[in-house]
Structure 1
């Protein structure tokens, strides 16, 4: 080979390697042209979710957006999904391409952020403005450099109530009028005494719902950002209020998610579901098919909180992070969130949806024609960010146990609180 040909050969090889390097750098940078197709190769993405999301219909729609991408939807129970995900990422084997994580579990998975792709590398920084600030921050590192997940729904809390029980008690049944009547927790207590006297029924049938409603309004709950336990200063008052009402017979004894709790919605054996999030609309309808027009909703005393909501994440095991990101960015975009709201009642975390005329006009005949979207949107925009902490679930379980021991066994509230604190501290000391 002549020297001239040799140099020409080297030049061609260099150009090939430079083009390949540019291509690889482009993929790694997370550039997204909005097509949802990533590299264009045929890929299959395994997608783990929990609850009733209705995402199957949207996955079908996504085939027109990215025909090269197949989404395999796997639905399970929330605790099982979280447990299986944590086991998989810890072992480095078996995790999906996309995983749903509930807000109370986010802090735990943020601690294992090295097992997930940083969505900022794939375009997340460009879509952060689509979501409520407090929701976006929940899945973000303290310095904002790492984004674990994209927000799906939220759970702004309101007050669902039985119009027939309210009417029997002589209380207003119009949403605005009732909100004016029961605008503080002291007023809630007074209304409870009235309802008990006039109807013989408790104001609420689940003590943990009353506790949760007040807890979720607090700017701090179980831990501060240094992961110090602060429940004496933040939620003890909510516990005392709830157990006082229990001892006076103003709240029932049903545990959440039991058959008894579900059937009571249909039977009208109590007046109010306090602290009910938007996603509970579907829960009530499912448990109380005969109660259409007997339920309504309004704002909760002393402002809204948030209960629930999730994020979509991309574990490091995925071989197709760009395609996975493209899909979840599309799925959580305002347009798709609006469809999820109308289809499954998932309340949007994208505030631009709240300005949509069809959204604002949403009423629900089951809930006596209430302006469900408007009421929930107002609650959502009043929520402040709350640091939940890695051990949120541990604390919550023990406090719920204490409350239910007071409700069912008639245990002494302070003794139960002290015992719960001791159990919590013992468990935290093992971490």
Structure 2
């Protein structure tokens, strides 16, 4: 009998997990790298040592905080320490996302060396929910009281099945949108304005028809990649994608959303409106700049990648809403490993770190899309205009997309299974392989990942 406990990973299995393509990227003043949290080297923040002017000064507390990449968390920690002189927060920043999480897994295995506070990338969440006993349950520290401040789907990503255990507080997110070239759209007779373009592709049938016509009129590709096209439909699955959250069984072959995503992408390949470039490749980046394709379907953080890859096309891009539904790729949570000796003080800090005001600051300084929906109507967020996107209020579009996301379970084996289907599509595109045979082989491989009977 297949058991739910199969999903609880050992510490050894967590080490060296992850795939570079599973993570997002941080929009750093409009200029980002391919990996979401690639950024600074180790940095630390030192606090004042004087106590607050109380009748009884509070005990000194030292906290360590491991972060990823080019965040503004060091600056926020400095601000917090000025307001809480009894607290010292040492921020250690790791540039590589995999190395960051492997370092924590190694500390868990060794039984020592974990930080008080750890920034956890969303793509790793299911791995660490499998060893939730290594973390403080934030519900025990008061997290339930602030749950309604955050997007429901984002909160649920860090929750146990019954919701009793909360592993992390929501930080940034990566809702999916459609980036498109207005010059190419208008050359094919499509609306150049975001509302009109969104309406033109608001179902996948309409998307495919527009894409086919676009290729016939312009001779160019409509969509940039097989991977991102497949992702967009795959992530519209209801509740689960490849694996059951209850017992870990594979059911991707009978999930109609996975089959639809596969067949739709095959259709784009065969009709010639999906480029055969690979994600993060020089050809993909060049295609953004020279107009080899009209559309890039991707998360909010990809805006920075487009800016850095396509400087010559500034002002020609806009952001529209995705057909039928929205997925999320990337983002992070703030967690408290259980080895930490000061959970109360650590929780007080992380609750402050992800509040509405500080998520707005993270957006303004680093482009991190907030997980607090109250900000989406706040003029300080909504009025932001991006000249690269023709002065469009891009934050408004990201907020619309974030509110359309529905929670879906990925599971610790998602990336491995997903790779089989991506390889199948690549074979269809590059080798003209038979789509049905490639699908069957991908399913056969994915089934080997499921727990034994």
- TM bin, normalised by shorter chain, reads 0.7 to 0.9
- Residue 165 (1) aligns with residue 184 (2): yes
Distance 1:130 1:330 in 2: 12
What's 1:333 paired with? 355
> Are 1:393 and 2:415 an aligned pair?
yes
Q: CA deviation at 1:429?
A: 4.2
Aligned partners of 2:194, 2:280: CA distance in 1, in Å? 26
Give the alignment partner of residue 265 of structure 1, picking from 275, 288, 305.
288
Greater percentage in helix: 1
Q: Which of residues 274, 277, 281 in structure 2 aligns to 1:254?
A: 277
- Following TM superposition, by how much is the alpha carbon of 1:409 offset from its aligned partner in structure 2, in angstroms? 2.7
**Could you report, residue by residue, the CA deviation over 1:84-120 in whole angstroms, capped at 9, with x for unpaired residues?**
3223223323322222222232122111011111112
- 1:212 aligned residue (197, 221, 231): 231
> Is the CA contact (8 Å cut-off) linking 1:216 and 1:307 kept in structure 2?
no
Candidates 173, 176, 179, aligned match of 2:198: 179
> Equivalent residue for 2:80?
62
Q: Secondary structure at the match of 1:376?
A: helix
Mapped to 2, the partners of 1:254 and 1:81 lie a distance apart of 29
In the TM superposition, residue 153 of structure 1 has moved relative to its aligned partner by 1.1
State the partner residue of 2:249: 228
Q: 1:293 to 1:111 in 2, by over 3 A?
A: same
Deviation readout 1:351-407 (Å, 9 max, x if unpaired)? 111121221222211111222122221221122221222212221222222222222
1:46 matched to which residue of 2? 64
- Contact in 2 for aligned 1:116/1:314 (Cα 8 Å): yes
Unaligned runs of 5+ in 1: 1-34
**TM-superposed deviation, 1:189:** 0.9
- Distance in 1 between residues matched to 2:452 and 2:117, nearest whole Å: 31
Give the alignment of 1:269-418 within 5 angstroms.
269-274=292-297, 276-418=298-440
Query: Residues 136-174 of structure 1: CA distance to partner in whole angstroms, max 9, x if unpaired?
Result: 111111222211000011112111001121122221111
1:73 aligns with 2:95: no
Contact 2:158/2:167, CA 8 A, preserved across alignment: yes
What corresponds to 2:43 in structure 1? none
Matched, 1:244 2:267: yes
1:131 positional shift: 0.5
C-alpha separation between the residues in 1 aligned to 2:282 and 2:109? 36
Residues 255, 404 of structure 1: 8 Å contact kept: no
Alpha-carbon contact 1:281-1:345 (below 8 Å) kept: no
- Residues 264-310 of structure 1 show CA distances to partners (whole Å, capped at 9, x for unaligned) of 22222100012x22111122112222221011111111132222221
Q: Which residue of 1 aligns with 2:152?
A: 133
Return the offset for 1:51.
4.2
Contact 1:171 1:178 in 2 (8 A): yes
Q: TM-score, normalised by structure 1?
A: 0.86
Quote the RMSD (CA, aligned, Å). 2.1
Q: Match of 2:210? A: 191
Contact 1:104/1:392, CA 8 A, preserved across alignment: no
After TM superposition, the score normalised by the length of structure 2 is 0.82
How many residues are matched? 393
